[in-house]
Amino acid sequence: MTDAVAFCEANSIPFKTDLSAKTFSTFKIGGIAPLVVYPTDTEQVSILLKYFNANNLRYKTVGNCSNVLFSDNMLDCILIKTDLLSFLNVENEHIVSGSGNFLSKLASAALKNHLSGMEKLFGIPGSVGGAVIMNAGAFGAEMSQIVEQTEYVDAKGNIHIVKGEEHCFGYRKSCFTESDVVTKTTLKLIPGIYRNIREEMNAVKTKRVSTQPLDMPSAGSVFKRPDGHFAGKLIEDCGLKGFSVGGAQVSTKHAGFIVNTGNATAADVKELINLIQSEVFDKFGLMLETEIRII
């Protein structure tokens, strides 16, 4: 790790050492990350990945960490955090964005430029890169409908661009492998009317506030939606709303969310996930699949 730090210093790549994942995950859970690097452009990502590859160093890329559960132990990988990949440009109906920008920042830029297509995604607390990887979506809209092309760097440090259907978007998934780092995405929106866009964004925000436990740390919906069902409803029908393991609780507001009531550990959350899965399976014969990614 000392060599990796020296490498970052020599290449002017911002980094931090010994950072608690509790400080940057929306779940407020996780052990110490020994090294977190913050590349500022695609070139720095490529340089880093070439170095990691040559030295057999494990890494994981994260954005806003709003869909991940970090382990309680010290992380056994270097984190690439995309916060500083924050380039943003609006060109006619296109928004070109670094992967580290918040989705909400893009939705606001779209509104300012009278562009429609992001309204329903407003309020998803993720980065552009995380939203592309996850094909994030809400209220019937998803990233796949607006993503035109994406730049990424592979594990060997080579830079690629994928367009349209090459993203292979599916429900909460895309074509990218665990080792790819998404660096830039172009969205294609359509001209809209400022007032209508703003009203829809406000309506979506109100709906989120009234249905989701936004005042407590969480990673959003823990489980994918099983075909023809809602995970939250199945969990509620098992009588698990409000059920706790340690500091992890099935939200009393939305049973699809697990919230951290203060001192939850990753072990608590995992135990609660297992318990929910087995209760739902016993009652409905359905195995809930996790949407959150465990690091």
Query: Residues 43, 172, 236, 244: which is the catalytic one?
Result: 172
Q: Does 137 bind ligand FAD (CB under 6 A)?
A: yes
Whether 291 is catalytic is yes
Judged by CB under 6 A, which of 126, 192, 232, 247 binds ligand FAD? Answer: 126
Query: Using CB under 6 A, which of the segments 87-95, 130-138, 156-164, 270-278 binds ligand FAD?
Result: 130-138
Write out the DSSP string of 265-293: -HHHHHHHHHHHHHHHHHHHS--PPB-SE
Measured from the CB atom, is 80 or 111 closer to ligand FAD?
Answer: 80
212 and 221 in contact (C-beta within 8 Å)?
no
Whichever of 30 and 129 has its CB closer to ligand FAD, that residue is 129
Q: Is 162 in the site for ligand FAD (CB under 6 A)?
A: no
- Choosing from 66, 221, 251, 279, the catalytic residue is 221
SS3 170: strand
What whole-number distance in Å separates Cα of residue 146 and Cα of residue 136?
11
Q: Rg (Cα) of the chain, in Å, rounded?
A: 19
Our CB check for ligand FAD shows the closer of 41 and 281 to be: 41
- What does the alpha-carbon distance between residue 92 and residue 219 come to, in Å, rounded to a whole number? 34
Q: Tell me the per-residue interface mask from 184 to 223 with ligand FAD, x by CB under 6 A, - otherwise.
A: ----------------------------x-x---xxx---
Query: CA-CA distance, 176 to 229, in Å (whole number)?
Result: 27
Q: Which of 82, 97, 116, 144 binds ligand FAD (CB under 6 A)?
A: 82
Min dist CB 19 to ligand FAD, Å, is 14
- Counting contacts by CB under 6 A, is residue 266 touching ligand FAD? no
| Bridge partners for 248 per DSSP | 245, 260
Residue 172 is among the residues annotated as catalytic for this protein: yes
Quote the tokens at residue 21: 């994942």
With binding defined as CB under 6 A, does residue 250 bind ligand FAD? Answer: no
Q: Is 221 a catalytic residue?
A: yes
Distances (CA, A) of 116 to 86, 91, 189: 21, 14, 6
Give the footprint of ligand FAD on residues 36-65 (CB under 6 A). 60-65
How would you label 184-194 residue by residue, b for 16+ Cβ within 10 Å and e otherwise? bbbbbbeebee
19 binds ligand FAD, rule: CB under 6 A: no
- Cα–Cα distance measured from residue 61 to residue 84, given in angstroms and rounded to the nearest whole number: 13
Sign of torsion over alpha carbons 141, 144, 149, 153: positive
For ligand FAD, the binding residue among 42, 44, 46, 66 (CB under 6 A) is 66
User: By the criterion CB under 6 A, which residues form the site for ligand FAD?
Assistant: 26, 60-68, 82, 99, 124-127, 129-131, 133-134, 136-138, 180-182, 212, 214, 218-220, 293
Q: Which residues are the active-site residues?
A: 172, 221, 291
